[in-house]
Amino acid sequence: MKKIILTAIAAALLGTGAMAEQVKVGIASEPYPPFASPDAAGNWVGWEVDMIKAVCAAGEMDCVITPVAWDGIIPSLTSGQIDAIMASMSITDDRMKSIDFSDKYYNTPTVIVAAKGSGITPTAEGLKGKVIGVQVSTIHQDYAQTHFGGDAEIKLYQTQDEANQDLVSGRIDATEADSIALDAFLKSDAGACCEDVGAVADDPAILGLGVGVGLRKGDDALKAKFNAAIAKVIADGTYEKISKPYFASSIYGG
């Protein structure tokens, strides 16, 4: 009788989804619209938040969205405080020295934004003598310092919003970031001052091979789950359905 009762309880738990694997998915605690930012009620919303929910549902994972400061998000993963990162983190050789990645789930260009009519171009010559604002601990910091740092001043910010604010106020001449993130800024009232002056020259060693889920080294079972779930939401149309309200065209990339 005892065995029958325990079996029934286990079946009931499975039926409600209580036995699904719980996964703490880290996102950056700093707002990064349109990918992830808190709404007026403090709830996290955005394309990447919707993707987390869709991917976790497809992979039958009980995911808990866990905000973590961007500059501490990889240590939080490697120390076991979170189990995965879905925070627009590009897949780069440097990061793969300490963590692993799933297959990509989006890939968009890196661009330079400056004041309208500035004459700035997204090249070392075009940015010579200028002050460029970038978010700290990002591929954009690495790229700007590598490609523009010899002739321009690189100013670091904790968030992209802070860089955008200084661009509006004229304290910096340009900023470098993901095209989609900066497009959201340019569409805002504050961003009316500025324009996208073009994409930077590609450097896969720094800019990476797209954005993937960050995972601990050796966590191969979880990696396989995320890869299968990402493939599923792309194949069944969920990816396109989620993306349509946010973007005019696909951001999956080549």
Q: What is the pLDDT of residue 248?
A: 85
* pLDDT above 50: residue 1: no
CATH number for the segment(s) 19-107+209-243: 3.40.190.10
What pLDDT, on a 0 to 100 scale, did the predictor assign at position 7? 41
The boundaries of every CATH 3.40.190.10 domain in the chain are 19-107+209-243, 110-207
236-245 residue pLDDT tens: 999 999 999 9
Residues in the chain: 254
Give me the sheet containing 131-135, strands edge to edge.
153-157, 131-135, 174-178, 110-115, 194-199
Query: Angle at Cα 216 formed by Cα 211 and Cα 220, nearest 5°?
Result: 90
At residue 5, does pLDDT exceed 90?
Answer: no
pLDDT of residue 68: 97
78: nearest Cα among 100, 52, 104: 100
**Which amino acid makes up residue 38?**
P
Q: Per residue in 71-130, pLDDT tens?
A: 999 999 999 999 999 999 999 999 999 999 999 999 999 999 999 999 999 999 999 999
Domain 110-207, second-level architecture: 3-Layer(aba) Sandwich (3.40)
C-alpha separations of 240 from 88, 143, 211, 254 in Å? 18, 30, 17, 15
Q: What is the pLDDT of residue 246?
A: 94
| pTM of the predicted model as reported, rounded to 2 decimal places | 0.82
- CA 97 to each of CA 100, 103, 211, 215: distance values in angstroms, whole numbers, following the listed order: 8, 17, 16, 12
